[in-house]
Structure 1
């Protein structure tokens, strides 16, 4: 048996893209070349790695067994290719996924400090909601995830990371700002501007605040924090967001924090696939994350 790295790269890409056409586009190969490489690999292994469903290829149990090993071999080959291209102690590309709040408010400063500490400068950053980050980790498209949503997924390791504080905010002229000793009942029938399903911020609202309200209405559903801030600053509703994310708008007097008698703390999480090969680079970054402090 003589399995080539090219075949493994084709296999991993097809697993991620789920069609020959999309995999061929990503690899800059022809569709026949991708089909042939995959067919040769399956023939050598004497196992089908995908279930065919119309034009889509869904990875099967045999393919799932191969995926972490193929990912490891490709990671090691990349490390060899980059071995003499960097002067620092570690090599390779680090693929980081961050959910919206973490990715915009925290990860840039984490990467700044990591680069200064490690002298490693080859990282990519993908920002989306928690659900999408988890999906890409499961498909081995990302090495590590930094998210605010609580994750319960069997194939992912979840480790507690930083603490955060959530706040409810509104426009400075909103009637709620006139109430002394604000209570949760005062939020009844309010118009809320919320993140989309799959967001850790939306999950916090649905788990911690909405069950305590008899009636509330979703005025808008938006997929970026800044869009929500602007809607609330336009007095289109109230929202619940990370204090880190809204602080600039509070400083500019565009938003006001509503003090509520409710524990609004939440946990950020560090995620990686339980079968992900932990290269020296990934181990270094994991260790750095656990010791890093945003306030230092």
Structure 2
């Protein structure tokens, strides 16, 4: 059997992009070249790797079995090419995914310190909600994920990372800021400005705050933290966000944090695929993350 690395690279890209056209654009190849490489690989293996649905290619069980091995072979091939590079064993590209709060408030400083520590500066950062980061890790589109949402996914290794504190915040002139000894019952019938489903921030609200309220209304559902802050600043409702995320708005007197009798601690998580090949670079970054603290 003579399987070429090019065929495996085409296979992985098609699995991620789901169409020949998109894969060809990403690989800078013609569509016939991508189709031929994929066809030859399936012929060598004696198995179809995708289910065809109109113009879309959906990876099947045989393809899912191949995906982690193909990813490892390509990563090891890159290691061989870089083996005698002057930059040493930490050469290569690191693809990092972060959920919104972590990606905006923490990961930039983590990368700053990692670059200073390792002298490695070839990283990419993709920011989305926790659910999207998990999906991309499962598809081997990312090497590592740093998220705030709790994850229960059998194909991912989930490790506790940093601690965080959530707060309930509103405009400084909101009626709730005038109440002394505020209790959760005072939040009844409030209008909430929340993140979208799949967000760790929304998950925290639904699991820790919403069950303690008999009635609450969603005023807005938004997919960025800054948009939520601006809506709360405009007096359109109250919100639940990370203290790190609202610090600047509180400092500018655009938001006020409500003092509530509630445990608002939450955990950040470090994720990677259970079958992901751990290159020297990925191992170094994983170790660095576990020893790093935000100053």
Work out whether residues 83 and 89 of structure 2, in 8 Å CA contact, stay in contact via their aligned partners in 1. no
SS at match of 1:120: coil
Supply the distance in 2 between the matched residues of 1:19 and 1:121 (Cα, whole angstroms): 31
Consecutive unaligned residues of structure 2, counting only runs of 5 or more, are: none
SS at match of 2:215: coil
SS at match of 2:90: coil
1:79, CA displacement in angstroms?
2.7
Supply the distance in 1 between the matched residues of 2:67 and 2:9 (Cα, whole angstroms): 10
Match of 2:50 in 1: 50
Supply the distance in 2 between the matched residues of 1:42 and 1:89 (Cα, whole angstroms): 34
Match of 1:174 in 2: 174
1:75, CA displacement in angstroms?
1.2
TM-score by length of 2: 0.98
Supply the distance in 2 between the matched residues of 1:234 and 1:83 (Cα, whole angstroms): 55
Work out whether residues 88 and 119 of structure 1, in 8 Å CA contact, stay in contact via their aligned partners in 2. no
Matches within 5 A, 1:123-138: 123-138=123-138
Supply the distance in 1 between the matched residues of 2:89 and 2:274 (Cα, whole angstroms): 25
Supply the distance in 2 between the matched residues of 1:92 and 1:80 (Cα, whole angstroms): 11
Match of 1:37 in 2: 37
1:88, CA displacement in angstroms?
4.9
What is the CA deviation profile of residues 128-175 of structure 1, one whole-angstrom value per residue up to 9, with x for unaligned ones? 000000000000000000000000111111000000000000000000
Match of 1:254 in 2: 254
Mean CA deviation greater in 26-35 or 137-146: 26-35
Matches within 5 A, 1:215-226: 215-226=215-226
Matches within 5 A, 1:281-292: 281-292=281-292
What is the CA deviation profile of residues 259-282 of structure 1, one whole-angstrom value per residue up to 9, with x for unaligned ones? 100100000000000000001110
Matches within 5 A, 1:111-126: 111-126=111-126
Work out whether residues 174 and 235 of structure 2, in 8 Å CA contact, stay in contact via their aligned partners in 1. yes
Work out whether residues 82 and 89 of structure 2, in 8 Å CA contact, stay in contact via their aligned partners in 1. no
Supply the distance in 2 between the matched residues of 1:86 and 1:249 (Cα, whole angstroms): 46
Matches within 5 A, 1:18-97: 18-83=18-83, 87-97=87-97
Supply the distance in 2 between the matched residues of 1:66 and 1:139 (Cα, whole angstroms): 12
1:82, CA displacement in angstroms?
3.8
Supply the distance in 2 between the matched residues of 1:40 and 1:61 (Cα, whole angstroms): 19
Work out whether residues 188 and 216 of structure 2, in 8 Å CA contact, stay in contact via their aligned partners in 1. yes
Work out whether residues 132 and 198 of structure 2, in 8 Å CA contact, stay in contact via their aligned partners in 1. yes
Match of 2:100 in 1: 100
Task: Indicate yes or no: 2:10 matched with 1:16.
Answer: no
Work out whether residues 193 and 228 of structure 1, in 8 Å CA contact, stay in contact via their aligned partners in 2. yes
What is the CA deviation profile of residues 174-222 of structure 1, one whole-angstrom value per residue up to 9, with x for unaligned ones? 0000000000000011011111111000000011001111111111111
SS at match of 1:227: helix
Work out whether residues 24 and 34 of structure 2, in 8 Å CA contact, stay in contact via their aligned partners in 1. yes
1:77, CA displacement in angstroms?
2.0
Mean CA deviation greater in 178-187 or 69-78: 69-78
SS at match of 1:29: coil
SS at match of 1:152: coil
Consecutive unaligned residues of structure 1, counting only runs of 5 or more, are: none
Work out whether residues 89 and 280 of structure 2, in 8 Å CA contact, stay in contact via their aligned partners in 1. no
1:244, CA displacement in angstroms?
0.4
Supply the distance in 1 between the matched residues of 2:189 and 2:199 (Cα, whole angstroms): 23
Supply the distance in 2 between the matched residues of 1:109 and 1:63 (Cα, whole angstroms): 37
RMSD of aligned alpha carbons: 1.1
Mean CA deviation greater in 46-55 or 142-151: 46-55
TM-score by length of 1: 0.97
